[in-house]
Structure 1
Amino acid sequence: MSLNQFASPWWLAFLVVVAALAAAYVLAQRRRQRNMLRFSNLELLEKVAPARPGRLRHLPTALVLVGLTLLTVALAGPTSDQKVPRNRATVMLVIDVSLSMKSTDVAPTRLAAAQEAAKQFADGLTPGINLGLVAFAGTASVLVSPTVNREETKAAIDHLTLAERTATGEAIFTSLQSIETLGAVLGGGDQVPPARIVLLSDGKQTVPDSPDDERGGYTAASEAKERGVPISTISFGTSYGTVDIGDERIAVPVDDPSLREIANLSGGSFFTASSLEELNKVYDTLEEQIGFEITRGDASRAWLVLGVLFTAGGLAAALVMRQRLP
Structure 2
Amino acid sequence: MQFLWPEFLWLLLLAPLLVLLYLWLLRRKKKMAVRYASLSIVKEAMGKGPGWRRHVPPVLFFLALVTMLLAAARPTAVITLPSQQQTIILAMDVSGSMRATDVQPSRLEAAQAAAKAFLAELPRHVKVGIVAFAGSAQVAQLPTVNREDLVTAIDRFQLQRATATGNAIVISLATLFPDQGIELAALQVGRERPRGFAIDGEHKEKKEFTPVAPGSYNSAAIIMLTDGQRTTGVDPLEAAKMAADRGVRVYTVGIGTVDGETIGFEGWSMRVRLDEETLKQIANKTSAEYFYAGTAQDLKKVYNTLSSKLTVEKKETEVSALFALVAAGLSLVAAALSLLWFNRIL
TM-score tier, shorter chain, comes to 0.7 to 0.9
| Matched residue, 1:236 | 255
Paired amino acid for 1:268: A
Report SS of the residue matched to 1:49: helix
Report SS of the residue matched to 2:157: coil
The question of whether the paired residues in 1 share the 8 Å contact of 2:228 and 2:272 is answered with yes
Q: Which range moved further: 225-234 or 92-101?
A: 225-234
Q: C-alpha separation between the residues in 2 aligned to 1:182 and 1:112?
A: 34
Q: Which range moved further: 247-256 or 274-283?
A: 247-256
Percentage of pairs with the same residue: 33
Structure 1 residue 269 corresponds to structure 2 residue 269: no
Q: Displacement of 1:99 after TM fit?
A: 1.2
**The structure with more helix, counted as a fraction of residues:** 1
| Matched residue, 1:123 | 120
| Matched residue, 2:306 | 286
Q: 1:220 to 1:69 in 2, by over 3 A?
A: closer
Report SS of the residue matched to 1:207: coil
Q: Displacement of 1:68 after TM fit?
A: 3.0
| Matched residue, 1:148 | 145
Q: C-alpha separation between the residues in 1 aligned to 2:179 and 2:293?
A: 30
| Matched residue, 2:98 | 101
Q: 1:55 to 1:183 in 2, by over 3 A?
A: same
Q: C-alpha separation between the residues in 2 aligned to 1:228 and 1:314?
A: 50
Paired amino acid for 2:111: A
Match of 1:49 among 42, 57, 62: 42
Paired amino acid for 1:263: A
Q: Displacement of 1:260 after TM fit?
A: 2.1
- Superposed CA deviations along residues 101-130 of structure 1, whole A, max 9, x for unmatched, are 111111111000100111222233344443
Report SS of the residue matched to 1:290: helix
TM-score w.r.t. the length of structure 1 is 0.77
Structure 1 residue 26 corresponds to structure 2 residue 23: yes
- Superposed CA deviations along residues 2-50 of structure 1, whole A, max 9, x for unmatched, are 331x6xx6776765665433321111223455677x99xxxx9978732
The question of whether the paired residues in 1 share the 8 Å contact of 2:84 and 2:219 is answered with no
The question of whether the paired residues in 1 share the 8 Å contact of 2:229 and 2:273 is answered with no
- State how many pairs are aligned: 307
Q: 1:16 to 1:223 in 2, by over 3 A?
A: closer
Paired amino acid for 2:274: V
Match of 2:135 among 129, 135, 138: 138
Report SS of the residue matched to 1:135: strand
Unpaired runs of at least 5, structure 1: 209-214
Structure 1 residue 69 corresponds to structure 2 residue 63: no
Q: Displacement of 1:181 after TM fit?
A: 0.9
Give structure 1 regions of 4+ aligned residues with deviation exceeding 6 angstroms.
44-48, 190-193
Compute the RMSD of aligned alpha carbons: 3.6
The question of whether the paired residues in 1 share the 8 Å contact of 2:229 and 2:272 is answered with no
Q: C-alpha separation between the residues in 2 aligned to 1:318 and 1:178?
A: 64
- Superposed CA deviations along residues 42-71 of structure 1, whole A, max 9, x for unmatched, are xx9978732614444322322222233334
Q: 1:275 to 1:17 in 2, by over 3 A?
A: same
| Matched residue, 2:2 | 2
Q: C-alpha separation between the residues in 1 aligned to 2:98 and 2:15?
A: 69
The question of whether the paired residues in 2 share the 8 Å contact of 1:318 and 1:325 is answered with yes
Q: C-alpha separation between the residues in 2 aligned to 1:15 and 1:168?
A: 58
Structure 1 residue 195 corresponds to structure 2 residue 220: yes
Q: 1:56 to 1:117 in 2, by over 3 A?
A: same
| Matched residue, 1:111 | 108
Q: 1:127 to 1:12 in 2, by over 3 A?
A: farther
| Matched residue, 2:231 | 206
Unpaired runs of at least 5, structure 2: 182-206
Q: 1:172 to 1:35 in 2, by over 3 A?
A: closer
Q: C-alpha separation between the residues in 1 aligned to 2:40 and 2:304?
A: 75
- Superposed CA deviations along residues 220-278 of structure 1, whole A, max 9, x for unmatched, are 22333334333221111134755332467765443322322333344432111112222
Q: C-alpha separation between the residues in 2 aligned to 1:27 and 1:90?
A: 63
Q: C-alpha separation between the residues in 2 aligned to 1:74 and 1:258?
A: 47
Q: 1:259 to 1:296 in 2, by over 3 A?
A: closer
| Matched residue, 2:186 | none
The question of whether the paired residues in 2 share the 8 Å contact of 1:86 and 1:128 is answered with no
| Matched residue, 1:212 | none
